[in-house]
Chain A
Amino acid sequence: AQSVTQPDIHITVSEGASLELRCNYSYGATPYLFWYVQSPGQGLQLLLKYFSGDTLVQGIKGFEAEFKRSQSSFNLRKPSVHWSDAAEYFCAVGARSNTGKLIFGQGTTLQVKP
């Protein structure tokens, strides 16, 4: 079955510390991979995506993610977290033929301590 697992439901980091959010997926073929961020009461904003090529992808707001095929993972990282990064983060996968039907993980809530 196709699925996305975000093992960490809630993470707290101090401002200025590094961050890594984990994402593992189960999919029949190599999918397209996405990370979205959602602030309270808001829709989803795309942080970054992996389609092909370089397995380390750069996104907005200083985020990056690394696709590891052997581990079926697509972890999100940021070297130095800012208070404004506090939000909910979702990993998602989609078919290469149609990315309108995404499968999302349950999300990781990031709290940033001053």
Chain B
Amino acid sequence: DAGVTQSPTHLIKTRGQQVTLRCSPISGHKSVSWYQQVLGQGPQFIFQYYEKEERGRGNFPDRFSARQFPNYSSELNVNALLLGDSALYLCASSSGLAGFTGELFFGEGSRLTVL
């Protein structure tokens, strides 16, 4: 079975541009969470979607937005890119929200470099 897949794996943007990152969860999983991992730090929670509704938002500016589609895939959008947005963006899926159904399975991430 396919795991969580993310695209693109690597991308380079310049300041002020916009980027869209994509995530396909494990088949049957209805929850998708997004995390930002800056080099040398632990992942930071950005968004969670469950059943196409936003269920949580981390401490990120409004330049960050996300959505979940009817097939449970998800997109993360970042507008007006800053140098500090350079990071590994991780997507994780789970079948539910809590307990054993809430266990997160992570993709390998999208590495964004902003020049």
From residue B110, how far is it (CB to closest CB) to chain A in Å? Answer: 11
Out of B4, B31, B98, name the residue touching A97 (CB < 8 Å). B98
From residue A103, how far is it (CB to closest CB) to chain B in Å? Answer: 7
Q: Which residues of B contact A94 (CB under 8 A)?
A: 102
Q: Which residues of B contact A (CB under 8 A)?
A: 4, 31, 33, 35, 40-45, 48, 50, 55-56, 58, 90, 92, 94, 97-100, 102-109
Q: Which residues of B contact A42 (CB under 8 A)?
A: 108
Out of A41, A43, A101, name the residue touching B56 (CB < 8 Å). A101
Q: Which residues of A contact B42 (CB under 8 A)?
A: 4, 90, 92, 104-107
From residue A82, how far is it (CB to closest CB) to chain B in Å? Answer: 23
Q: Which residues of A contact B94 (CB under 8 A)?
A: 99-100
Which residue, A44, A94, A105, has most C-beta atoms of chain B within 10 A? A44
Q: Which residues of B contact A26 (CB under 8 A)?
A: none
Give the residue name and chain of the B residue nearest to A41 (CB): B108
Q: Which residues of B contact A17 (CB under 8 A)?
A: none
Q: Which residues of A contact B90 (CB under 8 A)?
A: 43-44
- Bound Cα distance from A107 to B44, whole angstroms: 12
- With an 8 A cutoff between CB atoms, is A84 at the interface? no
Q: A104-B43, A106-B41, A107-B41 are in contact. Are A98 and B106 (CB under 8 A)?
A: no
- Bound Cα distance from A68 to B85, whole angstroms: 36
B50/A51 in contact, CB under 8 A? no
Q: Which residues of B contact A45 (CB under 8 A)?
A: 106
A101/B45 in contact, CB under 8 A? yes
- With an 8 A cutoff between CB atoms, is A96 at the interface? yes
A98/B41 in contact, CB under 8 A? no
From residue B64, how far is it (CB to closest CB) to chain A in Å? Answer: 15
- Bound Cα distance from A51 to B92, whole angstroms: 19
- Bound Cα distance from A42 to B88, whole angstroms: 10
- Bound Cα distance from A23 to B82, whole angstroms: 32
Q: A44-B43, A107-B41 are in contact. Are A98 and B108 (CB under 8 A)?
A: no
Give the residue name and chain of the B residue nearest to A6 (CB): B42
A98/B55 in contact, CB under 8 A? yes
